[in-house]
Structure 1
């Protein structure tokens, strides 16, 4: 009796990210760079200072407020 391997599904053209892989990151460490990028801004000394102030005031929730 030979063991058979289950067939793998054919490749999919679907490029949607599975929900299990999507996260905002607020359950872990949130950096000023994360906040700047989530806001759609370039990383500059000014935007990093803005993000650091936001993180001091709001904590990791600042990232949740920017992301859907």
Structure 2
């Protein structure tokens, strides 16, 4: 399960392009089976944004529900 704030989707790169919900959902699907989902998602996000532009705060929660099944 992934939960995130609008800071993720509204963040922009140097060209003014937003990270977008479509990009976030595609990334979630891509990282679904990754053992370290949150670190890889964070790195992709950091690599995307413009470090010289003020960005909104961003929250991301990743819950591996498979670990809850017994």
TM-score by shorter chain over 0.5? no
**Greater share of strand residues, 1 or 2?**
2
| Larger RCO: 1 or 2 (CA < 8 Å, sep 6+) | 2
| Structure of larger gyration radius | 1
